[in-house]
Amino acid sequence: MNSGISFNSDKHIYRLENREMLNVTRIIGGNLDDFLFNGATMDNIRKAGKFGTLVHDLCHEFNETGKIKTTDKEARRYVNGWVQLLENKQWSPYKSEIIVYSRKYKFAGRLDSLLRDKSNFIHLVDIKVRSSIPVTVKLQTAGYKIAHEEMTGEKISYRWCVNLTGKGIGYVLYPLKGLMDAHTFICKAISMQWDMTWAGKNL
């Protein structure tokens, strides 16, 4: 699926056949400002990012193997929320942590999970480990949906954001249904292409 696409993790840059692609996170504005607005320090941001990455990796591993492999008790509590979600909704992992891209709109990103329900509908679920959910997740998942459907021809029927809480039932699930999300994301992507072209970047 990802033939020809590469990702430089140090610079956070995607390239398709050696052409730089716009990054979904950059198109929607990223999440750093959300943290800073809430008064978080850079040290706390780094710690939260590291823990969030661990939880994402463990959820991906569970999707692939059906097992939670960690000695970190706090992380396990969060991943248990993911397991509980799958059990409660009777969703099965379909694809996990995959790079998707759009040749048409020249962007790429990595989505968290695609799940199938009992009726074989595909659900796109973005995983968050935060005290609050950023409004940009609606555009973020819209971008992933656009790219995956362009790449594969498979229809994604539903978009969700799950906030893993590490307590109680373990998760809060938010449906993402904005009718203008895809249109807004595309407009932002095209606007950024224009800006980068004027800046001398050849996308």
How many domains does the structure of the chain reveal? 1
For the stretch 81-120, pLDDT in tens is 999 999 999 999 999 999 999 999 999 999 999 999 999 9
Within a domain: residue 55? yes
- Alpha-carbon distances of 103 from 38, 57, 91, 100, rounded to whole Å: 36, 27, 30, 10
What residues contact 80, with CB distance under 8 A and at least 6 apart?
68, 170
Give the residue ranges of DSSP H helices in the chain: 24-28, 32-37, 42-65, 73-89, 137-152, 181-198
Distance CA 131, CA 91 (A): 25
Q: Is the pLDDT of residue 31 over 50?
A: no
Within a domain: residue 22? yes
What was the pLDDT predicted at 32?
A: 44
Distance CA 108, CA 3 (A): 13
What was the pLDDT predicted at 200?
A: 63
What was the pLDDT predicted at 33?
A: 46
**Residue 36: band (very low, low, confident or very high) from pLDDT cuts 50, 70, 90:** very low
Name which residue leads in pLDDT, 17 or 3.
17
What was the pLDDT predicted at 179?
A: 86
What was the pLDDT predicted at 177?
A: 92
What was the pLDDT predicted at 195?
A: 79
Q: Domain holding 153: CATH number?
A: 3.90.320
Within a domain: residue 203? no
What was the pLDDT predicted at 10?
A: 87
Amino acid letter, 198: W
What was the pLDDT predicted at 35?
A: 42
**Mean pLDDT (the chain, rounded):** 90
Within a domain: residue 126? yes
Q: Is the pLDDT of residue 34 over 70?
A: no
Domain around 101 = 5-198
What was the pLDDT predicted at 43?
A: 74
Within a domain: residue 143? yes
Q: Is the pLDDT of residue 122 over 50?
A: yes
Per-range mean pLDDT, top range of 68-72, 133-137, 158-162 = 158-162
What was the pLDDT predicted at 47?
A: 79
